Structure 1
Amino acid sequence: MQAFAPLEAGDPARIGPYRLVGRLGSGGMGRVYLARSPGGRATAVKVVHDELAEDPSFRTRFRREVTAARRVTGPFTAPLVDADPDAEVPWLATAHVPGLSLGAAVARHGAWPERSVRALGSGLAEALEAIHRARVVHRDLKPSNVLLAPDGPRVIDFGISVAADDTKLTATGAMVGSPGYLPPEQLIGREVGPAGDVFALGALMVYAATGTNAFGGGHAHGVSYRVVHEEPDLSGLPGELAGVVGRCLAKDPLRRPGVPELVAELGRWEGDGGARSTFTGAAWLPAPVADDVMALRTDPLPEEASADLPTGADLPTVGPAHTDVATARLGGPPGRPSSAARPGEWIRQRRTAVLAAAGTLVVLAVVAGLLLPRAFSGSSRGNGSGSTAAPTAVTKQLKVREEWPSDEDLWHPVVAGGKVVGEGQDGLLHAVHTDSGDTAWTYDDPTASSLEGVSDGLVVASGNERGTIQGISLDSGKQVWSVDARAHTAPGTTFHLYLRIVVVDGTVYVNALYDLPAGSKPSGRYAVSALDAATGRLKWTRPVEYGLSDALTVVDGVLYGGMWGKDGSYFYALDAKTGDQRWRYRTQDEYGTEVTAIKVSGDTVYAGDSRGELHAVDARRGTRLWTYEPDVQSRKWLEPLLVTDGVILGGTGENDSTRSPGDVHAVAAGSGKPLWTTHTEGEPELHGLLDGSVLFSTETGTLHAADARTGKSPARTRLSPDNPDAAVVGDRVYFDGGDGRLHAGRISLTEK
């Protein structure tokens, strides 16, 4: 089992005294490389984002946090061994832990037995004791920051992420972190101390013991709301363990146990024989996880870097990133906020504008890492799931030739009517002409800065501050209508936020969350409602006590959505004119699973959920036709789903807000039989078809094409060093080039 990926053309060969030999991953601060020290020691070297390197305040914080991190010593931490905060691009090096992350282990093998959970908690508590003793607070303890080794867990990234997060918070006022693991006090803007790490430890133990988040799944804003207002679900934990974890997850940080108390209580874990055990030989881990971890530990360190890289004395050192698009140079990027720093991004993983006239247009909001790419074409990796043969060698070449860069930097771009509309860095909506990139108009109302999509020549935007929804002329940028949240807010409740907005035939359909008076149980309530766009009048509303998913679409007079109740999770159909229920289909017997992607095709409606199942349902009766569950680590079905020539295409990814790998799947639409699956480095976003190939981009900045029926002839090209936030219409692509500008390019897919 290989724990790293090969270096790619454009990666530096050396950082400081460390020779790079592979890629370990990426995160909110930067790219992580596997490296060899001058003495031959395996080391993890992290290089920060260019935009952070150009921020003087970041360098000050980074230097301070490096100094603090050097003080951390403990058997369950990955210690800092070297750093250069004053380099052109700052970097740091930590001891390399050849282990599996907790997130990957649970995703691959499921929930852990009690003894392994207790052992995990014991090691993590001891790690926190060492971190806090050095006067450092981690603030981002999550499954991807816990590595599993034979002799116990290791906590990584302690203190270092604070410098990057503080910089983003100063620049944008946005919250940075991982929903479900951030403590309530951090979510409401109060000071976070060591007790915040104790909260995250409790959430990690629930995740290991049950395979699910303590506060449910779904979008970040829903999870964060439950963290602040609702109690965790500890039903899957044994009684004594549930008691410990429950105290860790107390809303009031003063009521949480101290770390020394946890070390003493959790340190009494027992091995298989009932005797007090120790961390040796991976015996503390569940057997299948132990096998994976031991395989990783024996994986040798490469002797040389990738054969594709140049050798000799003139090997490149790390420097500013740049991006090529096919043969077109985009230029060096100026300093700009990363995607993780954009206002409101912390509560939005993905938002999709499902608006009848424009079709399904997907936007991404993800935490993205550092890449140092050049333009390239190559093969994607597929496992051939359900197919008769693995993909062949690349026979097609994918290129994007740049047509223009705009002066605007538009996020979540939507293309319609000869214009690209998106959210600008100034908090306003902008539109540019598709043929030139020149600005067409700016909508100067900051209370309608959240773009929902385009329908019937209208740009639809909302603002959670006041809850207004506005229809704006696509041609002129002038307001046409406005709907106030008070029209659909029931007496005794207060509007909180929109989960989804869809506009069809002059009717505004909303999934919304409302607050109840203080002390109420539950503290919030959901409702799906329909309002007349012209008058703002409420047509109908259906309250939902437990929860609504944000997936919502209206087709041929029927509204399709997802909800969950105390007795399970459901996919439902309502009459779009009256709100009357036509049918309800149970997707899971569990509370909290949500429908995350919907596609209607003919008499069949397809629904993907957050636990990995894709359901085909008779659109008239609500009866099951088939279900499909791929055998992959990334579980959550992502919008959009595409149906073409008897094949349904869709992507899956992780149920968290961190950048993570994903998969693209092709399934026979009539039977649910798997046709092919291909793995992607980042979560995929499907864009449509071109010459029989499905186009999809990933948050690592790459555009891919693969034969829609076979998955063969994969091709790819780089769009951006970061999340391209792409929109594709025909053979035109509009994307964030990573240089603070929106770019337009023409796609060509040719035989090599």
Structure 2
Amino acid sequence: MFSPLTHDDPHQLGVYRLIARLGSGGMGTVYLARSAPGRTVALKTMHARIATDPAFRTRFRLEVDAARVIGPLHGAQVFDADPLAQTPWLATQYVLGPPLDDAIALSGPLPEPAVRALGALLCAALSQLHHSDVVHRDLKPSNIMITADGPKVIDFGIARAMGDDRLTRTGAAAGTPAFMSPEQATGQEHTPAGDVFALAGVLTYAATGHGPFGSGKPADLLYRVRYADADLTGASPSLAALLARCLSKAPADRPTTTELAAQLSASTTGFAHHLPQALLTDIARRAAEVWRVRPYRLPPPADTSPEPPTVPVSPAISRRKLLTVGGGSVLGVAAAGAGTWTWLGRQGSGEGNGKATHGSQTPSASAAPKWDLLWQVQLSPDVLLHGMPLTPLILGDLVAVSDGMGSMRAIDARSGKVTWEPFGKNRTHEVVTDGKQLYFPTAPMGDNEPLAITAAGPSSGDLEPPVARLKEFNEDIYENQLLCVADGVLYLAAGQGKGSEDYPGFTSDQSWFLLAVDVRAGKERWRQPLPRRPDKSTRLHFLAGQVVGNRLVLMQETNDGKVRIQVRDTRTGKLHWDQPLAVSEPDTLKGRLTVDDRYIFPSAGPLRALRLSDGGEAWNAGDDRSGRTGPPMVKNNVVYAVEEGVGVVAVDAATGKLRWAEKGGKGAGADLATPPVIGTRYVYSRSAAQLRAIEIRTGTATQAYKAAGDRFFAHASAGRIIAVGEAFVAAYPLQ
């Protein structure tokens, strides 16, 4: 619920002294803070990297205005705010209760009387907004706090005045896909009817424990929101009929908030009487815990990578605890993992230098692994097109990250300093590097512009003139995909025809080719045809690509969701060989291609090696190893992978013979989905919220430390493990 302050967090804003972090997201950070007389508030600030942008400042000011409009009855009371400060901030009532999604996770779906009372009170809250010509635009379970007095609507980060499109990118879907209205999903005007649609989704979740359009990739959710019938399984017939009307695809067919409140026919007095006992107990616990929090500030990172503490691996902290805000956040900003450490009631302040004072207690290596976080940078939590994972690109001493639909930024891998700020909107599947420059399509200036490829240098991110203009291909097609660049040649999948109006998605009349482009001469070297994609498909042609010598190694996804490994000649594009790869979930292979100069080590199926020359199987460790293995990594002729029930195993890359299996008995809970990270002294393996360091020579696991992230990468020259989560990139020591 609460996290330590970082070394560079402010000590005070206005009259409020910061006590702890509640969460951090793409726009800002939320703190627990107190005034001298003892008023406890949730205080939101804007990230420094966006505070200089007038558009973001305007959005913050509108958020403050919307929070004041909703008022203390239906929202969190605004005590103070300074949107014009160098660091804009907003102080509101600290809401004593969990967000609705946490409440449902704790107690299960609410009984129907509670759902009806919840809906009636939320109708009143939305009516108050709508009567002031404000629409919320992001109503979802995590933005509704459950208190004993009733629900509180929070987080107005994308709320705006009706009819004002100035802060919304044309054609963009701003909001949360699972609870968007169909019109919002296509970037159209969001009216009060859109908030009613979202409210019905929230009530469906409260009544059934699931959203009306399921879960999954954002693109799939957006499609179901627009075209699929709502899943109301679990709701009573009378409630389901009412919710179905609110979830109509046509805004005009939905009831108003006043009509919906009348049809819910609920008593809104004594809201607490409708709530399950487990939920009431949790509300009381949160009210008591907030007064036990004492300030604690993490020390600044050391100049050199510290040795991870030698400790036993402790029980894991769940990913939900690490990556979601505690129920106390009134603004519902998603936590970004680093420092989200359940820490409560420490004696003494310990603030300022991270050291224990007399009578204090600091994180102890003997008690549990410590945080060895070296730095963290927040990213925009925008929707990722095609579900492509956020992948850091190594650019000399820098790490470049394209945050989904957001912008590129480069970060010094050692210090975490952002060396240059965003220069454009480039999605993960559009950006590649040769280690010296980034390559990406230029932003289209109009419809159906020729495809132009641009480069950016590492020193300042300054854009260079296009290195190639491909007049036969359309820059406006979002599914164009850059695969890799090596020896001055860029490999990409590019489309001819018009861009899809159902963005994102292919159209069946587009023609597609695999291309090789000489970036020095600006000329196409060769092209090979690719199959057409069916209308509205969101499967990119390739999951990964890499050059080895004169071979281009590809993982291609077919129209029916199958995966094939291909090897082509880099000089002509001629196909050397092609074979299927048995995998049930192709998305797990995105960006994961493990090769050396002789073999491909597939990331699905048993641990094995395929010869680059002809695709024949050189060895299969599954013949000797009984357990399943996760995606492998290779370095210095050794292949490392996580084996189920064992932990990391190391096998000879040429023969597949076992060199060692992890010792110490601590690898049984290792995450099979996360490949090992290979250093010079240790191999690192993820176990829930921990990274375990395993001696690279012996396989003995001797160290562990806490680390948050979904994907981990080695930056060898900087001595850093680069961790990427849903809305952050961070670094831990690599040895």
TM-score, length-scaled by structure 2: 0.61
Residue of structure 2 equivalent to 1:351: 389
Q: Give me the whole-angstrom Cα distance separating, in 1, the residues matched to 2:60 and 2:454.
A: 35
Residue of structure 2 equivalent to 1:713: 704
Is 1:214 matched with 2:258?
Answer: no
Q: Which amino acid aligns with 2:678?
A: L
Query: CA 1:598–1:100 in 2, change beyond 3 Å: closer, same or farther?
Result: farther
Give the secondary-structure state (helix, strand or coil) at the position aligned to 1:20: strand
Residue of structure 2 equivalent to 1:340: 380
Q: Give me the whole-angstrom Cα distance separating, in 1, the residues matched to 2:715 and 2:91.
A: 43
Match among 625, 641, 646 for residue 644 of structure 1? 641
Q: Give me the whole-angstrom Cα distance separating, in 1, the residues matched to 2:181 and 2:631.
A: 27
Shift of 1:137: 0.8
Q: 1:418, 1:434 within 8 Å by CA — same for their partners in 2?
A: no
Q: Deviations over 1:282-330 (max 9, x none)?
A: x43344333322211221335753234339xxxxxxxxxxxxxx99999
Residue of structure 2 equivalent to 1:292: 282
Q: Which range moves more in the overlay, 88-97 or 61-70?
A: 61-70
Query: CA 1:349–1:106 in 2, change beyond 3 Å: closer, same or farther?
Result: farther
Q: Give me the whole-angstrom Cα distance separating, in 2, the residues matched to 1:649 and 1:158.
A: 47
Shift of 1:197: 0.8
Is 1:454 matched with 2:461?
Answer: no
Residue of structure 2 equivalent to 1:244: 242
Shift of 1:157: 1.8
Question: Which residues in structure 2 correspond to 1:253-402 (within 5 Å)?
Answer: 253-268=251-266, 278-280=270-272, 283-301=273-291, 305-306=295-296, 307-310=349-352, 339-340=379-380, 345=383, 347=385, 349-351=387-389, 365=403, 400=414
Shift of 1:22: 1.2
Question: Which residues in structure 2 correspond to 1:213-612 (within 5 Å)?
Answer: 213-268=211-266, 278-280=270-272, 283-301=273-291, 305-306=295-296, 307-310=349-352, 339-340=379-380, 345=383, 347=385, 349-351=387-389, 365=403, 400=414, 412=428, 421=438, 423=440, 426=443, 442-444=467-469, 446=475, 451=481, 453-454=483-484, 459-461=491-493, 465=500, 468=512, 470-473=514-517, 476=520, 479-482=524-527, 487-489=531-533, 494-499=535-540, 501-502=542-543, 557-562=580-585, 599-602=604-607
Q: Deviations over 1:417-473 (max 9, x none)?
A: 655655478576556799999999845553577545339986334566557454335
Is 1:689 matched with 2:675?
Answer: no
Shift of 1:103: 2.4
Q: Which range moves more in the overlay, 87-96 or 420-429?
A: 420-429
Q: Percent identity?
A: 29
Q: 1:626, 1:672 within 8 Å by CA — same for their partners in 2?
A: no
Query: CA 1:134–1:475 in 2, change beyond 3 Å: closer, same or farther?
Result: closer
Structure with more strand by fraction: 1
Query: CA 1:289–1:472 in 2, change beyond 3 Å: closer, same or farther?
Result: farther
Shift of 1:532: 11
Give the secondary-structure state (helix, strand or coil) at the position aligned to 2:584: strand
Question: Which residues in structure 2 correspond to 1:136-175 (within 5 Å)?
Answer: 136-158=134-156, 161-162=159-160, 169=167, 174-175=172-173
Q: Deviations over 1:41-66 (max 9, x none)?
A: 22111111334321223334543553
Residue of structure 2 equivalent to 1:197: 195
Is 1:675 matched with 2:713?
Answer: no
Q: Which amino acid aligns with 2:284?
A: M
Larger Rg: 2
Q: 1:601, 1:643 within 8 Å by CA — same for their partners in 2?
A: no
Q: Give me the whole-angstrom Cα distance separating, in 2, the residues matched to 1:85 and 1:484.
A: 54
Q: 1:420, 1:431 within 8 Å by CA — same for their partners in 2?
A: yes
Shift of 1:141: 0.8
Give the secondary-structure state (helix, strand or coil) at the position aligned to 2:42: strand
Shift of 1:349: 4.9
Shift of 1:600: 3.2
Q: 2:148, 2:283 within 8 Å by CA — same for their partners in 1?
A: yes
Query: CA 1:225–1:96 in 2, change beyond 3 Å: closer, same or farther?
Result: same
Q: Give me the whole-angstrom Cα distance separating, in 1, the residues matched to 2:82 and 2:200.
A: 34
Task: Report the number of matched residues.
Answer: 561
Shift of 1:644: 2.3
Q: Which amino acid aligns with 1:601?
A: P
Q: 1:83, 1:92 within 8 Å by CA — same for their partners in 2?
A: yes
Q: Deviations over 1:563-610 (max 9, x none)?
A: 99xxxxx99xxxxxxxxxxxxxxxxxxxxxxxxx97433279xxxxxx
Which 5+ residue runs of structure 1 have no aligned equivalent? Answer: 270-275, 312-325, 354-360, 376-398, 514-525, 535-553, 565-569, 572-596, 605-617, 628-636, 651-666, 679-683, 718-722
Q: 1:30, 1:49 within 8 Å by CA — same for their partners in 2?
A: yes
Q: Give me the whole-angstrom Cα distance separating, in 1, the residues matched to 2:251 and 2:22.
A: 35
Q: 1:202, 1:245 within 8 Å by CA — same for their partners in 2?
A: yes
TM-score, length-scaled by structure 1: 0.59
Query: CA 1:246–1:734 in 2, change beyond 3 Å: closer, same or farther?
Result: farther
Query: CA 1:16–1:478 in 2, change beyond 3 Å: closer, same or farther?
Result: farther
Q: Give me the whole-angstrom Cα distance separating, in 2, the residues matched to 1:499 and 1:649.
A: 35
Shift of 1:693: 3.8
Q: Give me the whole-angstrom Cα distance separating, in 2, the residues matched to 1:125 and 1:638.
A: 48
Give the secondary-structure state (helix, strand or coil) at the position aligned to 2:177: coil
Residue of structure 2 equivalent to 1:584: none
Q: Which amino acid aligns with 2:270?
A: T
Residue of structure 2 equivalent to 1:660: none
Q: Larger RCO: Structure 1 or Structure 2 (Cα < 8 Å, ≥ 6 residues apart)?
A: 1
Q: 2:97, 2:147 within 8 Å by CA — same for their partners in 1?
A: yes
